[in-house]
Amino acid sequence: MSESKRLGFEASDLLSWLGGMRWFGGGRPKIDRAFALGGPWEEKVFWLAVSADGRKYNVPVVVTQDGPVDAAEHPAGQRALLALATASERVEATAVVGESDARLASEPRAAGAAASGAHKLTGEQSNTSVIYELADSERAIVKIFRVLSPGENPDVFLTGVLSDSGTVPRLLGNARMAWAGQVADVLVAQEFLAGSQDAWRTVTAQVPGADGRRFDPDRPVQTPEERESIERLGALTRKIHEELAARCGTSEADAASRARLRRAWSKRADEAVALVPGLAPHRERIDALYAATEDVTWPPLQRIHGDYHLGQVLDAPGRGWAALDFEGEPLRPLSERTEPDLAVRDVAGMVRSFGYAAGMTLNRLAYAHDRPNPSDVEEREAEQIAAWEKSAVAAFLRGYGELSEAESLLLDALILDKALYELAYEAAQRPDWLGIPLGGVAAILRVDPESIAEPAGAGKSVASAKSADAVPDQNADANQNIDPERREESPEAESAANPS
Kindly state the percentage of the chain with pLDDT values over 90: 71
The pLDDT value given to residue 211: 74
**pLDDT tens digit sequence for 124-163:** 678 999 999 998 889 999 999 999 999 999 999 999 999 9
E-assigned strands of 261-312?
301-302
If pLDDT is split at 50, 70 and 90, which confidence band does 375 have? low
**Contact in structure between 55 and 106 (CB atoms under 8 Å):** no
Q: Is the dihedral of CA 488, 492, 494, 496 positive or negative?
A: negative
- Residue range 396-430, pLDDT digits in tens: 999 999 999 999 999 999 999 999 999 988 988 88
Q: Report the pLDDT value the prediction gives residue 475, as an integer from 0 to 100.
A: 28
Q: What is the pLDDT of residue 468?
A: 30
Radius of gyration of the chain (CA): 24
Phi/psi for 466 (5° steps) reads: -130, 170
Q: Are strands 182-191 and 197-198 parallel, antiparallel or unpaired?
A: unpaired
Distance, in Å, from the CA atom of 398 to the CA atom of 230, rounded to the nearest integer, reads 9
> How many angstroms separate the most distant Cα atoms in the chain?
78
For the segment 331-363, what is each residue's pLDDT rounded down to a tens digit?
678 888 899 999 999 999 999 999 999 999 888
Residue 136: name the closest of 158, 114, 165, 167 by CA: 114
3-state secondary structure 145-208: ECECCCECCHHHHHHHHHCCCCCCCCEEEEEEEEECCEEEEEEEEEECCCCCEEHHHHHHCCCC
- Read out DSSP for 394-453? HHHHHHH----HHHHHHHHHHHHHHHHHHHHHHHHH-GGGTHHHHHHHHHHHT--GGGS-
Mean pLDDT of 14-43: 93
Asked if residue 112 has pLDDT above 90, the reply is: no
- For residue 472, is pLDDT > 60? no
* Mean pLDDT value across residues 323-332: 84
* Interatomic CA distance for residues 482 and 490, integer angstroms: 8
Supply the mean pLDDT for the chain. Answer: 87
- Spatial distance between the Cα atoms of 401 and 408, rounded to a whole number of angstroms: 12
CB atoms within 10 A of CB 372: 11
